[in-house]
Chain A
Amino acid sequence: MSKNLLFEIGAEEIPASYIGPALEQMRAAALAFFEEHRLTHGALRCEGTPRRLALMVADLQERQEDRSEEVIGPPVKAAYGPDGQPTQVAAGFAKGRGVEVADLVVKTTPKGDYVFAHVQQAGRYTVELLEAWLPQLPQKLAFPKSMRWGEGGPLRFARPISWLCALYGTRTLKFGVEHLRSGAFTQGHRFLAPSPIQLKDALEYEKKLARAHVVLGLKPRREELLAQLEKAAKKFGRLVRDEELLDVVANLLEKPFAFAGEFDPAYLVLPKSVIVKVLREHQFAFAVEREDGSLAPVFLATTNGIERNLAAIREGNARVVRARLEDAKFFYTEDQKSSLEQRREDLEAVVWHEKLGSVYERVERLESLAGWIAERLAPEAKADASRAARLCKSDLVTLMVGEKEFTSLQGEMGGVYARLGGENPAVSQAIAEHYRPRFAGDEPPLSPAGRCVALADKMDELVGSFGIGLIPSGSQDPYALRRKASGVVTLLKVNALGTPLSLSDLAEAAIHLYPAGRFSAPAAEHRTQLMDFFRARLENALSEAGYESSLVSAVSSSRSEWVAEAFLRAEALRRVMDTDGFPLAVQAFSRVTNILDKAGETRPVREDLLAEGPEKTLWERYLAARPVIERHCGQGAYVQAFEAMAALRNPIDAFFNDVLVMAEDPSVRVNRLSLLAQMARTIGLIADFRKLVKR
């Protein structure tokens, strides 16, 4: 026998971004609860709107199955006296489990003989279980910020809880949470259906809500919103799709309604991205574009299902949009009165970081660093990269970015003003895209100059931050340094094969551009911490690219400062990993590499000290293979490099079988260790194979 469960937490308007994660937690908590209590069930759904979080479970079993269980008790020695009579310990155990002492049995376990009780557990009723568990559910949900209300807690929630509706089939589940009592009443739309709605059955819930102007499911709500927006846009062009904004707006409404409003076409002098941003950031409104991709002088706004009196609503929204665009236009016009070159001077007054100096000092460094990078990665773009770096932060002191209204347009505005100020397209583009990639999965800059500036920008910040001990730990990463280091990894990766630029060289160049004495971290520690940090980001990038963890650490444990190569090495390993000889090759290579830990000082190999047989053979084969391997590595052909190395497997095995590395004669011993050390370095060009040994 089973019935449907409904549990709804009604609340004052919950922040849009909180809803999805809370429903996810609710779902996980419910699944865990049903599993723990052995309750079978059908489909489990969690849905929410700004005013409610609901758990809906179909066909939830009405009562637990009875269960008989064998419970382990005390060891026999403690349970029975020398006379074979049960002790107090046995009696206590039996009583605790609700069985007779006479019914205890002895069983042999790996730990010895123990007393066991056969416990018959009657299944409990689901209603009883739910009435004990549901009241705890609200406080189990974690929110980015939670609050107390009324008398002041202790219960915390995203916003005050207004009601609790709980039904199991047709039965109302009864419990209390602070001053609230659960009941069979829900609420419809705050304004369009303000009376409480009584539910007779959990099944009625969604249907009754729909009648009360609430679209419960996020998916249908988002679809409805999109359809409305598209309909409203039709007369003027097409909706500028913004999936993220759709997600947000769908969670701001219980019943979507969209309408179009117009603004003065004179505002279209503003760049498209500015207008889209004004509408989005300030009004949660969408833009409309024409066939040719240019914007129509139209915004699409939404209401929470209110359609009456639309003229006034439209006018109200239009007035706000106009004021916002007017601000933006004012900024835009004012900003063009001085060039980015002139604004550079104003950056002297902008503190970048108390201990690291002004933004002006920073762009001075960036100009040199971007040029230095371009010489190595894109010599043809050197002039553009330097120029772009010189101007790339000037937009921070424009009104558009500096007034905090459109901070998220930094870079992009710089690009626009550069173009208007007559900078060449490559420079403008590089400025516009130098913050990219801004987040995981974001596109890196498209232009070579843009990539050079982006690399310089991120590396300068990382080097500076680590230099004064601002190192992310745990969840503490206020300056998003992890993301920036990942950006460096991405940027070096897209430069692909043959990039003559390593992370350590890049960091070194960046460090030297800072004035002496700026850093508090000791030089060696500064570099080590930075490289460790980059290694972790590289590992992260490799894992995200789908490489398994042992492969990732095999790759990152050697030569991790060469990013693009690391990806090539990972791909090569993935390809050879499933070949037949791989495990044996890994074993052989690992033996070579392992010995290194004991090697101590090594010297050039002296051929006169090599013994005839396996030792000499190995040396000769290695000498022949080494240039081949190095050539393959130089060309990024790591599969071939691996194969050339793997061809040495037999001589290596023979060497270890027949030759005593730790020979009595110290000069022979050092010679042997030196031979292995050389080989280990060559193997290390590909990976640290020890991480791939199957245990």
Chain B
Amino acid sequence: MPPKSAPKRKPKPGSKPRPKPAPNHSFQDIILALQKFWAGHGCVIAQPYDLEKGAGTFNPNTFLRSLGPEPWKAAYVEPSRRPRDGRYGQNPNRTQMFHQFQVILKPCPNDIMDLYLESLGELGISAKEHDIRFLEDDWESPTLGASGLGWQVWLDGLEITQFTYFQQVGGVELKPISGEITYGLERLAMYLQKADSFWDMAYGSGVGYAEVFRENERQFSRYNFEAAETAVLFKDFENHEAEARRLIELGLVLPAYDFVIKASHAFNLLDARGAISVTQRTGYIGRVRGLARKTAVAYLKLREELGHPLLKQGGA
């Protein structure tokens, strides 16, 4: 008997060898393939959360669900906004908004790496024919009070995924541990389409990625760097922070968390506008982290009061 933990995966009984997908993957093809794959592995296919945020980790499906003892499996696309990274649509691969495909598996299964590699296989990327490497990359989000250990995954020298074992979220030590897989969708598409630039990629159904997003980049870069009214944003930050605190007091932890996300985004915009000095920066990050902590603790309490329903179901 091989050891139970052996990372080799046996094919599932009854699974048929699938034909390789067409070599030309549009952006949306990749999303569809990943959604299908992870749905097949028991994930809830969630939707992007309807607020501006810097990464898929902010989505409650990750931030909140990774807390506490209940199992959770979800996968979703998350448009991610990084105002500072805007380049007015001029840079081939740096934009103020890009897309992550986020998978969260709690507890992280022992074969999580094999699952990930299998998902690449679904995109026609065979590990025997490409150089796939797991390179040390520990992750930390100072605003969320979250950190984890893991890798960046390289495909023939290109970073296509962040792979993280969460250790802490909202300042709370996690148990069980969630595994987070974050595919960089634009990077993957660029590779699969052999494109040198986001702006040369196909989005799908005959429409180019540039048609969908380039004007977006131009306008938002101008907004982020030039037009955003800092006085309003400072006020927003204060208001969002106060609102988050107030709602936590009322036990409305889910709406409270929305305001944490909003405060974080207001801070990101102010940062891009150069309105926050280096010394103030630490202070603002600390304030958002403080809110994230309070929310995390309140959420743990909420799930406990609800009696941890997902535990009773005997696992998701």
Q: Name A's B-contacting residues (CB within 8 A).
A: 12-13, 15-17, 50, 145-153, 159-164, 179-183, 185, 187, 190-192, 194-196, 198, 252, 283, 285, 301, 303-304, 306, 308-309, 312-313, 315-317, 319-323, 326, 351, 354
Given A12-B113, A323-B93, A159-B6 contact (CB < 8 Å): no
> Which residues of the partner chain B approach A303 to less than 8 Å between Cβ atoms?
131
CB pair A190–B3 under 8 Å, yes or no, is no
Least distance between B97 CB and chain A CB atoms (Å): 19
Given contacts A16-B136, A309-B129, whether A301 and B3 have CB atoms under 8 Å apart is no
Chain A hits for B148, CB < 8 A: 147
Q: Verify A316–B191 contact, CB threshold 8 A.
A: yes
Chain A neighbourhood of B157, CB < 8 A: 283, 285, 301, 316-317, 320-321
- Distance of A313 Cα from B133 Cα, bound (Å): 12
Q: Which of A147, A159, A192, A326 is the one whose CB lies under 8 Å from B128?
A: A192
A152-B177, A323-B93 are known contacts; what are 16 more A-B pairs with Cβ within 8 Å? Answer: A148-B175, A150-B108, A150-B176, A152-B175, A162-B5, A163-B5, A283-B157, A306-B130, A308-B129, A312-B156, A316-B157, A316-B158, A317-B158, A319-B158, A319-B196, A321-B157
Interface residues of B in 116-138 (CB under 8 A from A): 127-136, 138
Report the minimum CB–CB distance from A345 to chain B (whole Å): 16
Is there a chain A Cβ closer than 8 Å to B228's Cβ? no
| Chain A residues within 8 Å of B128, by CB | 191-192, 306, 308
Q: Given contacts A145-B149, A315-B194, are A191 and B175 in contact (CB under 8 A)? A: no
B279 within 8 A of A: yes
For the complex formed, measure the closest distance between the CB of A237 and the CB atoms of chain B, giving whole angstroms: 21
Interface size on B, residues (CB 8 A): 46
Q: Is the interface of B mostly helix, strand, loop or mixed?
A: loop
- Residues of chain A with a CB closer than 8 A to B92's CB: 323, 326
CA separation between A309 and B127, bound complex, in Å? 11
Is the CB–CB distance between B3 and A306 below 8 Å?
A: no
CB <8 Å contact, A151 and B107: yes
> Using Cβ atoms and an 8 Å threshold, which residues of chain A touch B110?
150, 160, 162, 179
**B231 is an interface residue with CB less than 8 A from chain A:** no
* B167/A147 in contact, CB under 8 A: yes
**Cα of A196 to Cα of B129 in the assembled complex, Å:** 21
Which residues of chain A come closer than 8 Å to B129, judged between CB atoms? 306, 308-309, 312
User: Are B279's CB and A316's CB within 8 A?
Assistant: no
Collect the chain B residues with CB atoms within 8 Å of residue A13's CB: 134-136, 151
Q: Within 8 Å of chain A (Cβ to Cβ): is B31?
A: no
Residue of A nearest to B135 (CB): A252
Complex alpha-carbon distance, A301 and B196, angstroms: 19
A354 to B110 CA separation, bound complex (whole angstroms): 47
B205 adjacent to chain A (CB < 8 Å): no
Query: Is B155 in the interface zone, CB < 8 Å from A?
Result: yes
Number of A-B contacts (CB under 8 A): 141
Q: Is B33 an interface residue (CB 8 A)?
A: no
> Cβ of A315: which chain B residues have Cβ within 8 Å of it?
156, 194
Q: Which residues of chain A are near B109, meaning CB under 8 Å?
A: 150
Establish whether residues B279 and A354, one from each chain, have CB atoms under 8 Å apart when the complex forms. yes
Q: A316 with B130: in contact, given A183-B3, A187-B7, A321-B157 (CB under 8 Å)?
A: yes
Q: Which residues of B contact A15 (CB under 8 A)?
A: 136
User: Contact mask B140-167 → A, CB, 8 Å, 1/0?
Assistant: 0000000011010001111000000101
CA distance A146 to B7 in the complex (A): 21
Inter-chain CA distance A163–B8, complex, in Å, is 11
Whether A306 and B277, one on each chain, are in contact in the complex, defined by CB atoms closer than 8 angstroms, is no
User: Closest residue of chain B to A148, judged by CB?
Assistant: B177
Residues of B near A149 (CB, < 8 A) are 108, 165, 177, 179
Q: Give Cα A316–Cα B157 distance, bound, in whole angstroms.
A: 7
Interface-centre pick from B3, B109, B128, B136 (highest chain A CB count, 10 A): B3
Contacts of A187 in B (CB 8 A): 6-8
Q: Bound state CA distance, A322 and B175, in angstroms?
A: 43
Please indicate the chain B residues that have their CB under 8 angstroms from the CB of A185 in the complex: 2-3, 6
Q: Is the CB of A320 within 8 A of B2?
A: no
Of B6, B127, B167, which one neighbours A148 at CB under 8 angstroms?
Answer: B167
Known: A150-B177, A152-B177, A319-B158. A145 touches B279 (CB 8 A): no
Pick the 3 closest A-B CB pairs, nearest first. Answer: A316-B156, A152-B175, A15-B136
**Do the beta carbons of B175 and A153 come within 8 Å of each other?**
yes
Q: State which residues 1-40 of B face A: CB under 8 Å.
A: 1-8
Asked if A152 and B176 sit within 8 Å, CB to CB, the answer is yes
Q: Contact flags (1/0) for B92-120 with A, using CB distance below 8 Å? A: 11000000000000011110010000000
Cβ-defined contact, A191 with B133, below 8 A: no
Closest chain-B Cβ to A264's Cβ sits at a distance in Å of 12
Complex: A309 Cα to B155 Cα, angstroms:
13
Within 8 A of A (CB), among B181-211: 191, 194, 196
B123 → chain A closest CB, angstroms: 14
Q: Say if the beta carbon of B250 comes within 8 Å of chain A.
A: no
**Distance of A33 Cα from B59 Cα, bound (Å):** 49
